[in-house]
Amino acid sequence: MTEETEQVDTKFDNTGHGPLRVPGFAGIPVHYELPSNARFAHGTVEWRQAPAVTARELTMVAVMNHLTDRPAWYVKIFDYEVVAEWKQETFDTTPLMSEKAWEWCVKELRDKAVDLRENRQTHIRVLDTGSCVCKADTETLDSLSAVFRGSVPALLEEQQEQRILDWQSETVLNVVDPLLFPLVYGRSLVLTDGGRVDLDDVLGCYRDATVAPKPYDRRINSQSVQKDIDRLGTPCWGISPPHGEKSEFYHWSSNYQCLPCEVEFLHDFRTEVQITSYINNLHPAHKGLYQAIEKLISMTIKPWNDCLVKGQSGWDDQFNQGQLGPVPLRIITYGVEWENELPEWALAFRIPFEPRIKIYRKAQEALQSSKDDQTRKGRKKHLDAQRRLSGLRDVADNLHKKLPPPDSDLWQRAKEYLELPEDGSNTPVAAPDDWMEGEVKPWRSIENKLKRLLRFKHPEPGTAFSYEEWKTNRHKDKAIIDIVRHRSNWDPDRQPFEPLTPPHTPYTISLQDTFRDQGLQIIIKMENIELTPKNPTYTNDSWQLDGQLNEHLAAVAIFAYDVSNITSPQISFRQYTTLDGVYYQYAEELYTTGDFNIRNLRAHRCGKGAGREIVAIADILGFDNPLDLWGDFHGTLSYQSIGSVATPQGRLITFPSVLEYRVEPFQLLDASLPGHYRSIKMYLVDPHYRVCSTRNVPPQQHHWWMQEAGNALATAGLPRELVDEIFRGTDDWPMGMEEAAHRRQNLIREHIWNEVFRLRRMPGPGF
């Protein structure tokens, strides 16, 4: 929170019973923020998954998500024959599935099934790795999808008659677009001094409305930002905030805000709701659609409860590795477990190479000869000799070491080691013919064998804590391999290296209880993706994190109500993960003693090396590029894809606004016939705030106003010709389609600014 906003009295109020007191009005800055622990989290600035999720756990949640798509899974999961078939199928198609992982999945699925039955739940959590997605499939949702399919055509017919059909592209049709006719500061009419928009007297509500004040825009050099974006395209990584500005300024808009509708709860404890202000760009005359949306919102409350992420203080501490989401991780590790480590006896063959012995002796001679030389050249020679010797400690410690005597049993053990099977085979291999020659060959042969035998293990669930401990939150966030808690080479001029791993704190959320009196604010979007034989494919490469911070979006819901003649639609998710190599156990000599000399490694450390360990850690965490371990430090973000959820017709999914998402490409099943994917999307405004809504802004659509005014004049008995004459020249009042389309383009441009600077985060500790 900035100094400018610390002293602001934020008793938010848009009820209409007094002056409007929401961000952007009554002296409350647009960019005002509540403390982190007094609101829900948003992915633009205050979410990170820590620790990183292992590839094994990502596999587990993907398998559970896939199995819960099957009909009657909650019954069949208790049928041992069916479970055996599922197991075989899973092991045949899923490389990272293991016996321990499968046993965990079955236990968890059975508990989810019991929860569905005993608590009469209509949804389950999936992809629950810190954050989560909820999916629901019920007969009520199937019936509701039929209502939408029957009601939307009338809306499209009306839009066609009014010539306001809004095609975003050749395949995407905006049926209800919240970016159209938004709140425009300095332009929109707003009931700032009290009063509500009365849907039964639209003309009357304009009478007391005044132009919304224009907040101060802190983005004073945004034109140069746009020029850079035009030059580099999007997504772009090379843009910096203009001189004197901060990147966070571009997360907020002082020009626009999408308008939510108001939703009130109807009963004392249930989730039934009523929409009490108009849905922007959906005329209230469409009562059937309004009622269907009310029913959909009612069914979305509990899934939102289960996926919302509470804000927490300390989330921005760069050393904080505490879990913030509602679901704790099943596997936590900060290092690598290895198989086939080198046995300790093998070090008997590690003899210093003769060239290194010569270098060592020359450095010793140089050190002695320059010891008393105080000239500049002598001091330099002395320092150079010290540096060379510091890298030759292995020679100093083993200068007089010899190979084991010929009659030692170590030679037989070494031969048996060199003959061990490789590549998963059970057949021994022949030892090299010359492996015993000289002093160097035995150790080199053993080293080469170690490189072929040594491999890392993907960590297993149930290792650091049991399923029961995880289920009852008694796991204490215990890691299989603990976080690095000491760095000997940590810069003493910086803050101490003190990583925090506070235990996960479970929490529950109940929107219907906590916010019953004030209700909710929800933004509605309806969109059709229409495919034809000429345009048979839908593609989408961009990840979405909806809204700017002044809209305070906390969660999203997507309901696919009409899906026809297309391949299975999927929505994929990813989350920002604070992946920083400084916390992970590799090159342990470096962070414990400060001396990383690969020739002095103990037997169990041989063959690994920092590079190999880093590659293994990246693989364990599911990252293709080991450089991701330093991603945050170098100014790029490390994302983990957490999977995808199918959205067939009649399915509702919800997720928090900390997850980025995108609709995966799909195409026509029968390329000779048209097909479509039609959905309604709902955005929950964080109810810890109140924002300006359609309760406070009279409808801005010119065609709505003209229809109401025309009906009033016709009711008064005026001839149609006179009514048309009266309206001549009023095409832009309150706002015409041409201006609204222009405003939307500007709003989309600001969303791009937000996206560009969202990719610039505070770096982690680094090295």
Domain boundary among 422, 447, 472: 447
Residue 465 counted as domain residue = no
- Whether 306 and 433 map to the same domain: the answer is no
CA-closest candidate to residue 742, choices 755, 752, 732: 732
- Whether 530 and 643 map to the same domain: the answer is yes
- Cα distances (Å, whole numbers) of residue 742 to 257, 280, 737, 738, 739: 15, 17, 8, 6, 5
- Whether 229 and 349 map to the same domain: the answer is no
Residue 620 counted as domain residue = no
pTM attached to this predicted model = 0.91
pLDDT at 730: 66
For residue 578, the SS3 value is coil
Classify 107 in phi/psi space as left (phi over 0), alpha (psi -120 to 50) or beta.
Answer: alpha
Phi and psi dihedrals of 588, rounded to 5?
-60, -25
- Whether 116 and 196 map to the same domain: the answer is no
Q: Give 251's DSSP letter.
A: G
d(CA 372, CA 2): 61
Distance of CA 505 to the CA centre of its chain: 20
pLDDT at 631: 52
| Inter-axis angle of helices 410-418 and 441-453, nearest 10 | 40
Cα dihedral 514, 515, 516, 518 sign: positive
d(CA 649, CA 661): 19
| Inter-axis angle of helices 720-727 and 702-715, nearest 10 | 140
Domain boundary among 447, 465, 498: 447
pLDDT at 9: 59
- Whether 19 and 165 map to the same domain: the answer is yes
- Whether 295 and 361 map to the same domain: the answer is no
Residue 170 counted as domain residue = yes
Residue 625 counted as domain residue = no
- Whether 284 and 422 map to the same domain: the answer is no
Q: For 435-480, how does the pLDDT look when each residue is reduced to its tens digit (9 = 90+)?
A: 999 888 999 999 999 999 999 999 999 999 999 999 999 999 999 9
* Average pLDDT per consecutive 10 residues, the chain (767 residues; last block may be shorter): 48 93 95 93 86 96 98 96 98 97 98 89 94 96 97 93 87 96 96 90 84 92 87 74 84 96 91 96 95 98 97 83 93 95 94 88 90 86 88 84 93 96 91 91 94 95 97 94 85 77 92 96 98 96 92 97 98 90 85 77 87 92 81 64 97 97 97 98 97 96 83 67 62 87 95 80 42
Residues 6 or more apart in contact with residue 762 via CB below 8 angstroms: 316, 318
Q: For 335-394, how does the pLDDT look when each residue is reduced to its tens digit (9 = 90+)?
A: 999 999 999 999 999 998 888 889 999 989 988 888 888 888 888 999 998 888 888 888
d(CA 155, CA 615): 55
Residue 464 counted as domain residue = no
Domain that holds residue 111: 59-123
Domain boundary among 407, 425, 447: 447
Residue 494 counted as domain residue = no
Show the tokens assigned to 261. 């509708």
Residue 152 counted as domain residue = yes
- Whether 515 and 555 map to the same domain: the answer is yes
- Whether 234 and 307 map to the same domain: the answer is yes
pLDDT at 478: 95
The CB density around residue 433, as the number of other CB atoms within 10 Å, is 7
Number of separate domains in the chain: 4
The dihedral formed by the CA atoms of 683, 686, 692 and 697, expressed in degrees to the nearest 10: 30
Burial of 136 (0-12, 13-18, 19+ CB in 10 A): buried
Residue 514 counted as domain residue = yes
- Whether 300 and 414 map to the same domain: the answer is no
- Whether 532 and 676 map to the same domain: the answer is yes
- Whether 657 and 551 map to the same domain: the answer is yes
